[in-house]
A and B are shown apart, each in its own frame.
Chain A
Amino acid sequence: MTDATLRSLPTAAPTSAAPPRRDIGLKRRYGAERRFKAYGIAAVGTGLFFLCWLLYTVISQGYTAFWQTEIRLPITFAANIVDPRGTGNPDMATLQRANYPKLAQDAIVAKLGIDPADRGAARDAAALVSANVRAELRDVVASDLTLIGKTQEVWILANSVVDSGVKGQFDLSVEESRRPLNDRQLGYIQQLEQDGALEQRFNWGLFTFGNSSRAEAAGLGVALIGSAWMMLIVLVVSLPIGVAASIYLEEFAPKNKFTDFIEVNINNLAAVPSIVYGLLGLAVFINYMSLPRSSALVGGLVLSLMTLPTIIIATRAALKAVPPSIRAAALGLGASKNQMVFHHVLPLAMPGILTGTIIGLAHALGETAPLLLIGMVAFVADYPATPLDASTALPVQIYMWANEAERAFVERSSGAIIVLLIFLALMNFFAIILRRRFERRW
């Protein structure tokens, strides 16, 4: 329509003359924009580079921790060793005392066809097997007493030195006296591998074993349970307190000097170094309230204190972000303030609150310093049955393993870092899912 009208204008009409072009600094303005974009890309690139480097280091060092060399041996549960009194139904104490390493040694000597009289060779062969074989074989017998006197194929853990050697983690070409495996042992390993009796299997023990001074038998089981207890305690303690405090401060509290003071303090608390919370927990929960040291309960309470400011700040921000028009609509209909908050404001603030809470939890999951102060660096081999039992936490376990000298612990601490990172990623993923889910309710 317009085109047609324009075209139908008499051609004689002169075009208006353009005034001289002004310099309005276009070049400079676009230049500034391009420079800023370049800075931004450089910043993001740097961040990504370091992230990739971190992930590469951790994964390349740690992925092998998920495999563990094991040896399959036909163990003869000789009655004279397992059940020396010949009762046929030995009690637990007897089973505890039995000389299982001897069973393993006999089995591996027989398997490799070594002359039992050659004590040096027998000792070298027996050293391939983890010292943890005592516990392993005991558990096998205890779960099935009919095995006594019979022979059964059992996969048992190889010594961590064998494990590291098989994974190529130390140089086997150096002269014999300077490496932890001698030539004879290397020969045995080769022989077992050819028989299919030595292979790398998925390391379930990493997730189920407690701590151990033997790398091959050290696992994250206790740390996982401890961390799970603590996350539960943090959630149960800090979510209701944090949300209630924020709702009160944001919706009900009068705005005066006192509430301003509280607000400033909450913001400051979020910035307090976490180790200070550890000292607070030590003073209050352990020294004053006499709760058991190194327990998940104390750890969880300390982490709750630490997480509270984060949750309060996130919740208040989420409440503030709810449009005032929704509040006015509810009040205008005659909703009480309480109804306004719980029927309208809180549901709308939910995604923000949940995201804040999960980020707070993730932060707490990765926290080490306050836990060191309340004694969670303890060496814990047994599963904690309740939050009052001694336990440890994932990051603390990493810290402890990272202090060990053995090569196999380096691999394990990296493996534990991978596990921790996976948990953090899962929590963030969960936060996103929850956010989406609640936001879909318009």
Chain B
Amino acid sequence: MMENVSFASTGAHARPVDLPVKMHGRKVEVFYGQKQALHGVDLEIPERQVTALIGPSGCGKSTFLRCLNRMNDTVEGARVVGDITLDGEDIYNKNIDVVELRARVGMVFQKPNPFPKSIFENVAYGPKIHGLAKNKAHLREIVETSLKRAGLFEEVKDRLDEPGTGLSGGQQQRLCIARAIAVSPEVILMDEPCSALDPIATATVEELIDELKQNYTIVIVTHSMQQAARVSQRTAMFHLGRIVEVGPTEKMFSNPDDKRTQDYITGRFG
């Protein structure tokens, strides 16, 4: 409950004012077998904002992202310590069902991964399994709204029955975003959503992310500094499994406190 109040109290890091915390990780440690991937990560994710996770490869940013909807559960030998809350509730608590959690915290992956089914089926799948549609007409409406929100509807409205895998890379990624928002999640996690896309498709997806933040809390992992600067309001810099610095994106990119952040965003390492 506390997190929902505001960012009034000042923590170790600069935080935006008057924004409730949607998700909060405290002392998150992740082990893959013997290997420790995260060493006590603390991060607050403000509601209806885009939070970017940046850092060199292997720094643990994707690992942290995958903790937020417990996708690490599916990895053999992965172990998560510490706690992560969603609206103040510990998502690793026994009475939180992982299926329900993932309906609230959706995910878009690095490589577009539409199901080998029709465009309609792709978007309709989530609402179907969660029983969100009252009837066929309602399902159709959900699919259309989701596609519209993902900015894909105009391009595919005449071929909803065609395979989703037949779309171009950028369209596929927007289809995956539409699929994620069709279940009306509260948070959308994006793991380098543009790394497999060309610059034009990237621009479309970035615009989309910007619009989506009005309704959804978004966490995005990216390797592109420009992308983080363009789409996010808050940025967290990871290095070697720790958060080096976190703060408003503008400040991070203009006047970072940490030398490593400075070096990384100016391209001196990473």
B174 adjacent to chain A (CB < 8 Å): no
| A331/B115 contact (C-beta < 8 A), A336-B99, A442-B163 known | no
Q: Is the CB of B113 within 8 A of A333?
A: no
Q: Could you tell me the distance in whole angstroms from the C-beta of A174 to the nearest C-beta in chain B?
A: 70
Nearest chain A residue, comparing its CB with the CB of B111: A325
- In the complex formed, the residue of B with least CB distance to A329 is B113
* Number of residues from A at the complex interface, CB < 8 A: 20
A363 contacts the other chain (Cβ, under 8 Å)?
Answer: no
B107–A332 CB distance below 8 A: yes
- The answer to whether the Cβ of B183 comes within 8 Å of any Cβ in the partner chain is yes
The residues in A between 321 and 335 inclusive whose CB is less than 8 angstroms from any CB of B are 323, 325-335
- In the complex, chain B residues whose CB is within 8 Å of the CB of A344: 115
Cβ A331 vs Cβ B74 within 8 A: yes
Decide if B109 touches A334 in the complex (CB within 8 Å). Answer: no
B residues 130-150 with Cβ under 8 Å of A? 130
Interface size class of B (residues with CB under 8 A): 20 to 34
Question: Which residues from chain B contact A333 at a C-beta distance below 8 Å?
Answer: 102-103, 106, 125-126, 129, 179-180, 183
Which residues of B in the span 56-95 have a Cβ within 8 Å of any Cβ on A? 69, 71, 74, 76
Q: Are A331 and B71 in contact (CB under 8 A)?
A: yes
Assuming the contacts A332-B69, A334-B103, A344-B115, asked whether A325 and B126 have C-beta atoms less than 8 A apart, the reply is no
Report if B227 contacts A (CB, 8 A): no
Tell me the number of A-to-B contacts counted with CB atoms below 8 Å: 67
Are B183 and A441 in contact, with the CB atoms below 8 A?
no
A255 within 8 A of B: yes
Docked CA distance A343–B165 (Å): 17
Q: A332 to B102, Cβ gap below 8 A?
A: yes
| Docked-complex contact B109 and A325, CB < 8 angstroms | yes
Bound CA–CA A343/B71 (angstroms): 19
Roughly how many angstroms separate A325 CA and B110 CA in the complex, as a whole number?
A: 10
- In Å, the complex CA distance between A344 and B76 comes to 21
- Tell which of B106, B111, B130, B165 touches A332, judged by Cβ atoms closer than 8 Å: B106
- B115's contact among A255, A329, A334, A339, by CB below 8 Å, is which? A329
Contact check: which of B100, B102, B125 meets A343 at CB < 8 Å?
B125
Q: Which residues of B contact A339 (CB under 8 A)?
A: 129
List B162-209 residues whose CB lies under 8 Å from chain A: 163, 165-166, 176, 179-180, 183
Contact A442 B116 (CB under 8 A): yes
Most buried by B among A326, A333, A335, A343: A333
Task: Kindly report which residue of chain A lies nearest to residue B107, judged by CB atoms.
Answer: A332
**B76 engages A255 (CB within 8 Å):** yes
Flag whether A148 is at the interface (Cβ < 8 A): no
Which positions 152-206 of chain A face chain B at CB distance < 8 Å?
none
Contact A328 B163 (CB under 8 A): no
Question: How far, in whole Å, are A331 and B99 apart by their CA atoms in the complex?
Answer: 8
Of the candidates B74, B100, B113, the one whose C-beta lies within 8 Å of that of A325 is B113
Query: Is A348 located at the chain interface by the 8 A CB criterion?
Result: yes
Q: Does B117 contact A (CB under 8 A)?
A: yes
Q: Which residues of B have CB within 8 Å of A348? A: 116
Q: What does the 1/0 interface line of A303-345 toward B look like (CB < 8 Å)?
A: 0000000000000000000010111111111111001000110
Which of B111, B117, B183 is within 8 Å of A334, CB to CB? B183
Cα separation A255 to B109 with both chains bound (whole Å)? 26
| Complexed CA–CA distance, A333 and B123 (Å) | 10
Identify the closest chain A residue to B100 (Cβ): A334
Q: Measured between alpha carbons, how far is A344 from B114 in the docked complex, in Å?
A: 11
In the complex, A330 Cα to B176 Cα: how many Å? Answer: 11
Contact of B71 (CB < 8 Å), options: A255, A323, A326, A328: A328
Alpha-carbon separation in the docked complex, A325 to B196 (Å): 14
Please give, as numbers and ranges, the residues of chain A lying within 8 Å of B183 by CB-CB distance. Answer: 333-334
CB nearest neighbor in A for B104? A334
List residues of chain A with CB within 8 A of the CB of B165. Answer: 442
Residue in B closest to A348 when the chains form the complex, CB atoms:
B116
> In the bound complex, how far is the Cα of B121 from the Cα of A343, in angstroms?
11
Q: A326-B115, A442-B165 are in contact. Are A335 and B129 (CB under 8 A)?
A: yes
Report chain A residues within 8 Å CB of B109.
325, 328-329, 332
Known: A334-B129, A348-B116. A329 touches B176 (CB 8 A): yes
| Chain B residues in the interface with A (C-beta under 8 A) | 69, 71, 74, 76, 99-103, 106-107, 109, 111, 113-117, 125-126, 129-130, 163, 165-166, 176, 179-180, 183
Q: What are 13 of the A-B contact pairs (CB < 8 Å)?
A: A323-B113, A328-B74, A332-B71, A332-B102, A332-B107, A332-B109, A333-B102, A333-B129, A333-B179, A334-B106, A348-B116, A441-B117, A442-B165
Having A325-B109, A333-B125, one finds 5 other A-B pairs with CB under 8 Å, namely: A329-B109, A332-B71, A332-B106, A332-B180, A334-B106
